[in-house]
């Protein structure tokens, strides 16, 4: 589903964020990206949905070299990739329902599709009773669930999560991880950057460790260390 071939990403000022990274992630896998701050985890994620472009190497998503993708095709790539942020990035003037619907409206989905899919996904994340609330009326965990609903409402092939439990307490983090596991069970590939060792150790999924932009460990059913 995702393949990195000797990928290097250099930011302005010759800051090397990723150095010769090669990795192959299969469909339906759950992969943790771990490593200290500045190790290249977020860069790795941003390269997958082409927010960033690699200087060297090739990246394949669903069999397609995304480095060769015309810029007008990038939105269509992103429709197959859900994205969850640490700070949720919800729109505060929109309700839960509107926040989730927004992701479908802006890609031109018809109203009846929006209505059906939004209701189903809000139900999946357990927020049906709060669908008319605004983000500031929700707890952090609930806001993250809205963010997950928005990322998954279009049923993407891949779900990218950049420290999704970074702002949550341990109990809420566990709930969020259960939700991500359920999504992964549907066949969606999940790539999650995290610092949360307890979550990684408990879930025993594949772990890719980055250090100073290099992949230093790639372990099936791994732990945080």
Partner 1 sequence: MLSYRYTLRETTQNLQRNLQLATATIITVGVSLTMFGGFSLFQTAVDGATKRWADGIEFVIWMNVDTTEEADKHIRRMLENSPEIADWHYKDQEETYKEFKEIVAGNEEILDIVEQEILPPSYRVAPIDNDVDIVQELGDQFKGQPGVRTVTFAGEAIRDIQDLAQRSGRVLFIGSVILLGASTLLILNTLAIAISNRQREIEIMRIVGATKWFIRLPFMLEGLVQGVLGAAIAMVSNMLLRTYVIDRFGQTDAIQLLSGFKVSDAALLRTNLTVLIIAVIVSVIGSGFAVTIYLDDDN
Residues interacting with partner 1, by CB under 8 A? 49-51, 71-72, 74-79, 83, 89, 91, 102-103, 105-108, 111, 150, 154
Task: Count CA within 13 A, CB hemisphere, residue 98.
Answer: 10
Distance CA(96)–CA(131), nearest Å, equals 5
Q: How far is the CB of 153 from partner 1 (least distance, A)?
A: 9
Q: Are 113 and 153 in contact (CB under 8 A)?
A: no
Q: Which is nearer to partner 1, 71 or 136 (CB)?
A: 71
Q: How far is the CB of 104 from partner 1 (least distance, A)?
A: 8
Q: Which is nearer to partner 1, 111 or 178 (CB)?
A: 111
Q: Which is nearer to partner 1, 143 or 154 (CB)?
A: 154
Q: Which is nearer to partner 1, 149 or 200 (CB)?
A: 149
Q: How far is the CB of 42 from partner 1 (least distance, A)?
A: 14
Helix (H/G/I), strand (E/B), else coil: 194: coil
Q: How far is the CB of 151 from partner 1 (least distance, A)?
A: 8
Distance CA(99)–CA(92), nearest Å, equals 9
Q: Are 21 and 66 in contact (CB under 8 A)?
A: no
Triad 130, 132, 138: Cα angle to 5°: 50
């Amino acid at each position: 589903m995702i393949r990195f071939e000797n990928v290097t990403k250099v930011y302005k000022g010759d800051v090397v964020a990723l150095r010769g990274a090669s990795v192959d992630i299969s469909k339906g896998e759950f992969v943790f990206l771990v490593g200290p701050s500045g190790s290249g985890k977020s860069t790795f994620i941003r390269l997958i949905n082409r927010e960033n472009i690699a200087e060297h190497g090739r990246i394949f998503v669903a069999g397609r070299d995304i480095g060769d993708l015309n810029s007008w095709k990038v939105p269509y790539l992103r429709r197959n990739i859900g994205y969850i942020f640490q700070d949720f990035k919800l729109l505060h003037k929109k309700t839960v329902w509107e926040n989730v619907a927004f992701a479908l409206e802006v890609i031109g989905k018809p109203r009846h599709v929006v209505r059906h899919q939004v209701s189903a996904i809000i139900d999946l994340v357990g927020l049906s009773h709060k669908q008319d609330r605004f983000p500031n009326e929700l707890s952090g965990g609930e806001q993250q669930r809205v963010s997950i609903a928005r990322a998954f409402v279009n049923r993407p092939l891949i779900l990218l999560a950049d420290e999704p439990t970074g702002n949550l307490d341990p109990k809420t983090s566990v709930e969020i991880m259960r939700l991500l596991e359920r999504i992964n069970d549907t066949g969606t590939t999940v790539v999650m950057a995290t610092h949360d060792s307890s979550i990684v150790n408990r879930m025993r999924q594949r772990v890719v460790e980055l250090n100073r932009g290099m992949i230093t460990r790639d372990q099936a059913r791994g732990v945080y260390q």
